[in-house]
Structures are given as C-alpha cells and as structure tokens.
Chains A and B, each alone.
Chain A
Amino acid sequence: MSKPDFDRHLREPGAAVYGRRSHWLIPHVDPVLTLLLVILMAAGLLVLYSASGRDMGQIQRQMLFMGVGLAAMSFAAQIPPRMLLRWSWLPYVLGILLLVGVDLFGSGAKGAQRWLAIGPVRFQPSELLKIAVPLVLSAYFGSRLLPPRFKDVCLAVAVLLVPLLLVAIQPDLGTAILIGAGGAFVLFLAGIGIRYLAVALLGVLAGAPAMWLFALHDYQKNRILTLLDPQQDKLGTGWNIIQSTTAIGSGGLTGKGWFQGTQSQLDFLPESHTDFIIAVLSEEFGFLAVLALLALYMLIVFRGLAISLAAPSMFGRLLAGTISLTFFLYVFVNIGMVAGLLPVVGVPLPMISYGGTSVVTLSIGFGILMAVRSETDARG
C-alpha cells in the first residue's frame, strides 16, 4: 500500500502522527517566505516614505500595520491544518453575514459601501472573503473525488456566487472579480474539466454586453473606456493613467532618484501612496527596480507554489496553490493597471501600498500558506 493510499484510511490527515500540543509549541513560520516578505515590506517603506511626501507618521502607521500583519501571519502559521479543515466554513459564513451587514449599514467611501466600522478599526468584510472562499472550496474539493463532478462544480459555483454578488452590489467590481478569481483557481487546480472552462469563458463573453448595459455603473464604464483611450478625457478619468504612465516612462532605466520624481513629488500622480505607488517606484528608481520588484514577487509566488506541491493533502495543495496564484494576480492587476494595461480597479500593490487591510489580509494568507507547510514538516 502506497503512502497516499494509507493516508486515505485515516480519519484526518496526519492526526495520528503528531499531537495537538506539540504542534502549537513548535514554530511553523516559514523562514524563507518571511525573509522575502520582510525585504518586500522594507522596500515598500522606502518608496512609501517618498510617495507620502516624507510623512514619518504615515510610515509609522504602515509599520504598525506590518507588525500586526506579521503577528497575524505567525499566529495563522501555527493553526493545525486539520483545524483549518474542520472550521473552514466559519470564515465563509462570518464573511457572508458581515457582507450583508455592510450592504445594509456600511459607511461609504467614494460612493461605494465597503467598510464596516468596529470601534476605531474600519474593516472591509470583502477582504475576509478573499481568504474564506479559497479555504472553504479547498476544504470541499479536498474531501471529494477529483476531478470534480458536475454536482460538485455546481455547488462550488453557488458557494462562490453568493459573496461575489454581495460584493458586486456594493459596488466593488474589482474585489468581486478577485474573489471570483480565487474561487476559480481552486476549481482549476482541482482539475475541473476543460469543457467547464470553455463554458465559463463563453458565459463571460456572452454576459459582458449585458453587464455593460445593465450592471456597470458609469464610473466603471469610464474606467474601461479610459483604458482604450486615456486622451479622451484628459482631466477626468484619463488623468490617472496619463500621469502614471508619464511617471513610469520618465523614470527610464535607473530612475530620477529618491524624492526626485517630479510627477510624484509635485502631486501630478494621483493616489501615489496607495494604488499607484508602483509609479513612484518606477519614476524614482527606474526599470531596473521594477524588474527587481517583479523578481521578488515571483520568488514569493514560487515559494508558495513549492509549498503547495509539497503538501501531503489535496486540501493543503489546493489552498496553498490558490493563495499563491491569487497573490500573483493582485501583483499583476496592480502593476498592469498603473501602466495602463488593465482598467483601473481598486487593487493595492501587495505589501507596498499604504493601508492596513491589505497588509493584514495578505499576511494572514501567507500564515495559512505556512500552516499548510507545517503539515509537510510534520510528515518529514
């Protein structure tokens, strides 16, 4: 009997091999991933200091967010994988309830209801779902025969659609698409048949015109039109893209130097410390820095994929793979949109853009990735 076959007969993966107490006592933080993330955060602070107009207060707040993020990551890394599996439904249900709450009572920012205030902390429930959806779907497919059957796919799509629609009506189309992508990655990695993918693709193509006519808000349509021709509305929706591509392009190979980016320092670049921070990096440190940043991101993604490949259970594999791919997608969408390759959606540059929610959510994601790895460690 092969080892995987043996595992099949256990009630829970690895349950007999190690005890609950010993798991909590051994640190499971992945040193390689942690090192990469800390380098990324340090680089981010460097750029943020310039982008914020040398606002030390903002740097301190961002460091606090990063500290909270690393703590949350360390904690998440300690969670035993079987516990993740058993309680995988909890964040999902909680997230759905909060989303309903936010749609009913949330406070708006820029005309969209996304935030839920709990005391001094403002919180976006949609962020929770970025983790919760892959978790619940990975747990589901991890316990089913693969490739998934039609019934499984239908159930998964239903599980995915509920939060997706709740987020979309906020309206936060960008986050909705990213949540959808997270769910789609689980299905894809679980081995969903090629014909499902074809049907999904056709569905998107058929649904796009209907979306354009009935579902999209004017500002969302504008963002897409702007991508096609930024010059049509130079001072309006086109402004961001014109200024960000100007910032990026004028940076050249090695950049203008720290604090020397005229586009960033003279406020031509909008949202320079949040979503558009890659333009500051590009302007002040140049193409070489962009390549270095991409390399750093890819190392992190590959580390995540390595953990995924090494995971003993399908649940772990799916979860780790999805977290890694989603992380890559965030990186791609942000860097692509700032350079005018994609429509502007509210996606921050992971670990570098200013803002606590993104840092903490991503950190928890990496913590879970490390937790998956702990399963592998325990197996030796």
Chain B
Amino acid sequence: MSPADRFLRNHRNEHLLFVGRLGFATAVMALMVGALVWRYFDLQISRHGDFVTLAERNRIHVRAIPPPRGLIFDRNGILLADNRPGFTLSIAIERAGNLDALLGALDELLDLGDSEIERFRELAARRRPYESVPLRYNLSELEQSLLAVNEYRLDGVEIAAQLIRHYPLGERFAHVLGYVGRIDERELKTLDPAAYSGIYLIGKTGLERFYERELLGRPGAEYVETNARGRVMRVLDRVPPAAGANLRLHLDARLQEVAYQALAGARGAVVAIDTKTGGVLAMASAPSFDPNPFVTGISTAAYKALVESPDNPLFDRAVRGQYPPGSTVKPVFGLAALDSGIATPSFGIYDPGFFRLDNSTHKYRDWKRGGHGIVNLYDAIVQSCDVYFYTVGTRMGIDRLHRYATAFGFGAPTGVDLPNEAAGIMPSREWKPGARGLAWYPGDTVNTSIGQGFMTATPLQLAVATSRIAMRGEVRAPRLGRTLGLSPVANPPSAAPIRVASEHWDEIFRGMRGVVEDRQGTARSAIAAMGPATYTMAGKTGTAQVVGVKQNARYDPRRLTKTQLDHALFIAFAPVESPRIAVGVLVENGEHGSSTAAPVARRVIDAFMQFYPDGTGHE
C-alpha cells in the first residue's frame, strides 16, 4: 500500500468491498430464510398430524357425569336409601391460581378443618387433569350465600348441585344398609378409575358395600371444549350416564322399626327370617347411629364420640357380634341325640344339680341349684336342663356335636349378602389345637353341649339355625336383597337338606313349643305376660356366661359389673303348625333369655303376624 493510498479514498475499492459484504450478507440471509422455511415445513407439513393431536388434546376434555346411585327399597317399596340434591363446593385447580391463598380465603369463610384440607390435597394429587376437586359437600344456605358474596375473589371455586346419598330412616337401618362415604386413598388405589370417574362416594359398609358394583351405575361423559384456563366453552358431545340398579330388599321397614324399638335402651340384636324364602325380614342392632353424617364426612369429634362410646354403636352385633349361644343350641343337640340314637323321647336321666365326668371330681353345674330331678328330652328342652345335655352331649362326643351344629349353620358364615360376616366358632377336635394350641379335653365337650365354652355364634346364625329347625331341615342361605333392577338377586346354590326322621322333628317342635306354653317352660311367664297370642310359637331361651363362675361359687349378679352380666338369648319360630318366621334375639348383659330376650322376639313375631296374616306372598 503506497502512502498516498493511506490518505486518499479509493472509492472503487470501497464500493467493491461494500458490494462484496452485502453479497455475503445476502447469502447468509438466504441460509437463514432457508432455516426458517425448513423449520416451518417440518412443523406444519412433516409433523402436522402430531401437532393436530396435541392441539385437540389441549382443547377437548372429557368430563365425567356421575350416574345416580341405585335406590334401596324395603319389600313394600318404602325408600331406605335415597339420592338428594345437595350443593358441593369444588375447586378447579387450573383456574385457582394461588391455591394456598384460595384455601386460606375459604378457611376464613367456612372454617375448614385441617383434616378437610389434608383430604382435599390428597384428592387433588390424584385428580385427572382439569377435574375439579370437591372440598365440602352439602353446603348450608349460609355457606352458599357466603360463597356467593365473595365469589369475585374466589377464582376457581365451583358450586355444583350434586346428588348426595340420604338415609331417611337413619339409625334404624344404619348397620344393615351401611353407608357410602368419600373414596379414601386405599380404595382409590384399587378401584377402576374409569368406572368411578366423577364419583366421589363408595359403599363403605353393609348392603351399600356388598352391592356396590350394582348400585354404582355407569358414569356418562361430556366432551367439552375448554380454554387454557380450564373454562368450558361449549359441549361437543354427551354420553348419558346409566343409573345404578335399584335394590329391593326382603326387609320390612315396619318390622325393622318394631325390632329396633323392642331393643330400645339395650345393647343387642334381632334377626327375623322369612323361613320359606330365607329372606331377612328384620335385622337390627342396637345401639345404632345416624349414617347420614358419614356420607358427607363426619366431623372428627362426632366420629370420636361414636368410636369411644362404651356401647359401641358402630358395631353391627347382628352379623359381627359373636356370643356363646348357650341353651339356644339345645334343640339342635337334642335333635342330634335323637337322630344318632343316643336318646329316645322317653329316655330319662336323673339330674342332681350337677354332672361329673367319669374319673373326675369336677362338677359341671346345672343352672338350677338342686337340679331338675328326672328329666327326658321334652323336659330338658322345656326346663333347659343342663345336666341332661351334659349327659347326652358327652355320649355323642364332640365330633357328632360338631357335625350336627355345622349342618345348622354354626361355625361358618351363613353367606348372607353383607360384607365381613363373622363365622362364630363351632369347636372341634381339629379346631382346638390350631386355635388354642391345646388338645381336646372331655370337659370341653361338656361345655360345648350347652353352647358354652369355646362355642360362639352370631345372632344371624341363631336365626338361621332356628329357620332350619322350623323348616325341618331345609337349608337356605339368608338373603337381604330381593331384586336388583328388574332381575331377582341371585340366590346361592341351596345346600342338601338335613335329613332327620319326621318324628324327631315333631319331638323338638313339641319341646320348643313347651318352652313357651308349658307350665314349666322357661319363657312361659315372660311370653304369657304379653297377653294371649293369635298364633302358636316355639322357642328356646339361652343365657350365656360372660365370666366364668368358680367351682363352689354361685352366679351373683350383685357382685358383677354391668358388662359382666350374662347375655340373654332367645330363638323362636311361628306358627308351629306351618312356620313362616324364625327369629334370633340377643341382649348383651340381659341376664336371662326369658325375661329380656323373649319379649323382643314376641313383639317382632306379633307384628309380623299382624302385617302378614296370610303369609308373605312367597309361598
């Protein structure tokens, strides 16, 4: 470069340089435009389909429409479980913005509990996208107005009318119907999300749980277009939900009422069975509770009170309570003695007031000090003589006792259409080593032969056994459900009948009738005190020891606390000539089957005869 070039402009060179640079820039621009065109081609043409799917998924959401749950009626069409419209507060989290702030604001208005918020968060964590999460059900009018007034600052809050389960007869059916409640975390893990979309309630106990699948129904769906904030712009398509099947029961609400009232003030249970069908006419457990608060979420305090009550109102004594059946098993073991030839109707023993096994000094006492004297089977049932049954029971042996008792339904669930039925215990030579780790002793047989010792049964089992006696060995599983929708509830396959000679049944019937009618009958005075009956009745009292009485001690009620008193039991069927109803009654710590349990059975049977003078219409 010459010095002159350094100071003089070379316009030609400058211009060439500029044109060159501009050309280079143009080339780079062409590449950049090419990159843009390539990118848009890739997005809009090559991957068009993928993005259409993404856009549709953005826009279209499926909203579940919960189906109305099947209603539950008694046998006469009285509504026992209903769906009532209620207002539910839910939160659409996508629209809420700051969820914590919103919950804080709602807490100020509605006083949310910690557990309420915690449960909400659990549900929220598992919700499907854009699904609103319920926070509180059954809003009161005051709560609704509070929310309406503050709506402007509660973004994402939704108040929706929703069907909420209601039990109009409340505590009378609390145990047998059960209740629905919010789906909890454990249930959420196991159930099919599709079958439960939009559904927040599930059968927790009783019939509501047993028939959950049928009562549930099938959710419908609404295909909606939503904007980015989850707001529904329009409904594109709708698949209506299918309502759950209505469940009609064998239960009679009037009879249930009578049974429940008959137990008033007591702890106990009544089960009445239609002997011809196995249908359960009444099934009451007392004390009871109002199931309605459970549907919408019972308060912690109220729940605690129920759980901690010494009377244990949540406990279903009818199918879960296991009590020594006591003397109520005597008709069964009497029949066993006749059928196995150990005893004949005229066979008699002398009862000195106690029974001793050979080579033993241990005295097994009769309930009657001094004994019943000479008794045959009829006397033994009528007077409930323990020594007679100690004697024949020991002669029959535990194996035979076990076989007959099992045939009448002891020691195994009856198969009723309820969840969590207790099996009771019918002890046997095989059972004891497994359950107690001890060998079977002859003394165990003695205790078992009067329904004490290891033996336990539920009130339902007592009613079932009574029904089998009444039907002379016909075996039917008890049933609560009668029809589901238009189809009858499937009955379990009927088992083989108990084959016993007719005259043996007659003898047992005679004895059980004597319990109620004979001058010496243990239930006579209690039954007779209620006035003349229009029908014949057969029964058996039972008294079950809660605490053992020592060898030389006497049962002294004054020295026992309330919960150590004997349980009172009574079984009965009627009419004797053509039995239609069988009843099992238990009153905890009721002391004597005759005085506390028998009147309950009488009242239930009286009511049944009044309501159904000509039968239940199933014959």
Spell out A's residues near B (CB within 8 Å): 2, 4-5, 7-8, 145-147, 185, 188-191, 243, 245-253, 262-263, 266-268, 282, 286-287, 290-291, 294, 298, 301, 305, 308-309, 314, 317-318, 321, 325, 328, 332, 335-336, 339-341
Contacts and interface: CB of A to CB of B under 8 A. Distances in A.
Given A266-B228, A267-B227, A189 B55 contact: no
A192 to B, nearest CB: 9
B369 interface: no
Contact of A246 (B7, B36, B51, B229): B51
B35 A341 contact: yes
Interface stretch (B41-49, B97-105, B511-519, B585-593): B41-49
Nearest to B55: A250
A266 B12 contact: no
Contact of B29 (A145, A245, A286, A301): A301
Contact of B36 (A251, A253, A263, A339): A339
Nearest to A245: B43
Q: Which 10 A-B pairs have the closest CB atoms?
A: A249-B51, A4-B11, A250-B55, A266-B227, A191-B17, A287-B44, A267-B228, A249-B43, A250-B51, A268-B228
Interface stretch (B19-27, B114-122, B319-327): B19-27
Given A145-B6, A339-B40, A339-B43, A249 B50 contact: yes
A173 B15 CA distance: 34
Contacts of A291: 37
B58 interface: yes
Contact of A266 (B7, B26, B48, B233): B233
A247 B227 CA distance: 14
B290 to A, nearest CB: 44
Given A5-B11, A266-B233, A248 B32 contact: no
Contacts of B56: 262
A379 to B, nearest CB: 14
A305 B26 contact: yes
A10 to B, nearest CB: 13
Contact of B51 (A245, A267, A336): A245
A185 B47 CA distance: 36
A106 B7 CA distance: 46
A146 B14 contact: yes
B36 A336 contact: yes
A124 B56 CA distance: 39
A163 B19 CA distance: 29
Contacts of B33: 294, 298, 332
B44 A249 contact: yes
Contacts of B32: 328, 332
A301 B11 CA distance: 25
B40 A191 contact: no
B268 to A, nearest CB: 59
A249 B48 contact: yes
Contact of B58 (A249, A268, A341): A268
B39 interface: yes
A253 B19 contact: no
B130 to A, nearest CB: 13
A228 B342 CA distance: 92
B11 A267 contact: no
Interface string B224-254: 0111110001000000000000000000000
Contact of A191 (B21, B58, B59): B21
A301 B30 CA distance: 12
Contact of B52 (A8, A250, A290): A250
A68 B25 CA distance: 31
11 contacts: A145-B9, A146-B9, A189-B21, A249-B43, A249-B44, A262-B58, A268-B58, A268-B227, A290-B40, A298-B33, A314-B18
A336 B43 CA distance: 12
Interface string B54-82: 11101100000000000000000000000
Nearest to B94: A235
Which interface residue of B7, B40, B229 has the most chain A CB atoms within 10 A?
A: B40
A248 B40 contact: yes
A332 B33 CA distance: 7
Contacts of A328: 29, 32
A267 B52 contact: no
B26 A282 contact: no
Contacts of B18: 189-191, 314, 317-318, 321
A308 B29 CA distance: 16
Contacts of B12: 2, 4
Contacts of A335: 36
Nearest to A248: B43
Given A8-B9, A266-B233, A314-B18, A246 B58 contact: yes
B423 to A, nearest CB: 54
Contacts of A305: 22, 26
A266 B225 contact: yes
Given A266-B226, A267-B229, A317-B18, A249 B47 contact: yes
A294 B36 contact: yes
B44 A251 contact: yes
Contacts of A339: 36, 39-40, 43
A249 B11 CA distance: 50
Contacts of B19: 309
A188 B29 CA distance: 14
Given A252-B44, A336-B35, 19 more contacts: A146-B14, A147-B17, A191-B17, A249-B52, A250-B51, A251-B44, A253-B45, A262-B56, A262-B59, A266-B59, A266-B233, A267-B229, A282-B43, A287-B41, A290-B44, A294-B36, A305-B22, A321-B25, A341-B39
A248 B36 CA distance: 12
A282 B36 contact: no
Given A267-B229, A305-B22, A287 B14 contact: no
A282 B58 contact: no
A253 B44 contact: yes
Contacts of B225: 262, 266
A105 to B, nearest CB: 31
Contacts of A7: 11
Interface string B367-390: 000000000000000000000000
Nearest to A288: B44
Contacts of A253: 44-45, 48
B226 to A, nearest CB: 7
A317 B21 CA distance: 12
Contacts of A248: 40, 43-44, 51
A309 B596 CA distance: 117
